[in-house]
Amino acid sequence: MSAFELFLYIALAILAQIGIFAAIAFFRHWTAYVALRGRLSELGEVDLSSTVSPAKAGTDAPVWSGFRDFRVTRKVFEDDGRAVCSFYIKPVDDSPLPAFKPGQFLTFRLDVVDPVTGKPAPVIRCYSLSTGPGLDHYRISVKRATAPADVPGAPPGLSSNHLHDNVREGDILAVRAPSGHFHLEPGNAPIVLIAGGIGVTPILSILEATLARGETRAVWVFYGVRNGSDHAMKDHMQNLAGAHSNVHLHVCYSRPRPGERLGNDYHHHGHVDIALLRMTLPLAPYQFYVCGPRGMMESLIPALGEWGVAESAIHYEAFGPASLPQVGAARRPPAPPTAEPSATTLNVTFALSEKTLTWDGRDSSLLEFAEANGIRVDSGCRAGACGACETEIEDGEVVYDNPPDHHPQSGRCLLCMSRPARDLTLRA
């Protein structure tokens, strides 16, 4: 046998071994996957509302409409840097609280002193519920929004700073009932919860809800923060993971402080990204829930799709006002017409601002259109759920691309979700 033939035989033997190992590995993953799917279909879909104990406070109480008075019963800081503060609130009338779906948010109307006029003015903002349902109180956890360093003279965030600095235990807040599309869906599939920064609030609510029901399905939690100074709910989440073997907690610090130790204070150095998920998660038909800052959403949501996760298995919410449409766009194929004006233009009159402007179809909503033209309008969730941008239509009609959660009264519209159908006059 020649040296070349010997080399050929050895190379073929190595290749055959690699092939056998790959086939065995694939077969093992595949059988685990098929077994899990079989178990899920045997279990069937579970109605979440029926799994929250009805004996717990107020779960079947009616949902209220409009704003209701709540008293702040506790105020607690949740991180070393005291940038995240939780507010425990109970209804002033002491009647029971309706249940909510873990992941949903409350809408607040706050009287905040306007830094320009120096006078109090109503400000509407949404804050996610940061506990599981079934308690005799609600809780929100608010991060102080500081002024951006690169915009000299910009004021700090109105509502978050007001809540941190001026709202005390015993104070009364006006609150709309829980709402929102981002919540734990029925089913028993293993879940992956991904939070960036203050996006941890709805994620924690979902985590607590699954544990309160005694569920044993796998729950993977990936939580990205800069370092220990803004690592909110640190002990609480560690305790939950320590007490439940089905909870796998992975905390990522992108910029650890000197003295913070990998493996002790945090599990990974860097951001929560697709490489980490691929490296960590065993093969299973997961449902993904993602809430974080714009950068995280814009990279992670499309990356999950590219990894092969079905769109129906990715649930997400972005807190930043500008994030929602852009994240949505990142998941859709590029749409060339968006940058082009439409063939027909319409007149939109903002009666209170005494402005008539030309709508050429470039803006995705009347809210964006108003803001782009310097018209001040209220807004909250920017996703048709909170009703903060509900505005009277004096003349004309609007259309919605998707039906909003919040139904505006007759003769009114939600600016964040609608476009003009013909010439329009709004009382704004």
Ligand X SMILES: Cc1cc2nc3c(=O)[nH]c(=O)nc-3n(C[C@H](O)[C@H](O)[C@H](O)COP(=O)(O)OP(=O)(O)OC[C@H]3O[C@@H](n4cnc5c(N)ncnc54)[C@H](O)[C@@H]3O)c2cc1C
Query: What are the residues binding ligand X (CB under 6 A)?
Result: 105, 125-128, 140-143, 145-148, 151, 154-161, 180, 198, 201, 317, 319, 381
Q: Which is nearer to ligand X, 103 or 190 (by Cβ)? A: 103
* Dist. CA 159–CA 124, nearest whole Å: 8
Q: Which is nearer to ligand X, 317 or 378 (by Cβ)? A: 317
Q: Least distance (Å) from ligand X to the CB of residue 424?
A: 25
Q: Which is nearer to ligand X, 72 or 145 (by Cβ)? A: 145
Q: Which is nearer to ligand X, 180 or 420 (by Cβ)? A: 180
Q: Least distance (Å) from ligand X to the CB of residue 329?
A: 17
* Dist. CA 138–CA 413, nearest whole Å: 29
Task: List the one residue out of 177, 158, 149 whose CA is nearest residue 114.
Answer: 158
1 three-class SS: coil
Tokens 């109105």 belong to which residue? 158
**Partners of 129 in the β-ladder:** 140
Task: List the one residue out of 224, 260, 223, 126 whose CA is nearest residue 180.
Answer: 126
Q: Which is nearer to ligand X, 387 or 420 (by Cβ)? A: 387
Q: Which is nearer to ligand X, 282 or 295 (by Cβ)? A: 295
Q: Least distance (Å) from ligand X to the CB of residue 84?
A: 7
* Dist. CA 246–CA 219, nearest whole Å: 6
* Dist. CA 32–CA 401, nearest whole Å: 41
* Dist. CA 194–CA 300, nearest whole Å: 10
Which two structure tokens, joined as six digits, stand for 266? 């945090």
Q: Which is nearer to ligand X, 253 or 316 (by Cβ)? A: 316
Q: How far apart are the first and last CA of the chain?
A: 91
- 316 neighbors 291 (Cβ within 8 angstroms): yes
Q: Least distance (Å) from ligand X to the CB of residue 141?
A: 6
Which two structure tokens, joined as six digits, stand for 110? 């706050």
Q: Least distance (Å) from ligand X to the CB of residue 194?
A: 15
Q: Least distance (Å) from ligand X to the CB of residue 197?
A: 9
Select the residue whose beta carbon is closest to ligand X and give its number.
157
Q: Least distance (Å) from ligand X to the CB of residue 376?
A: 12
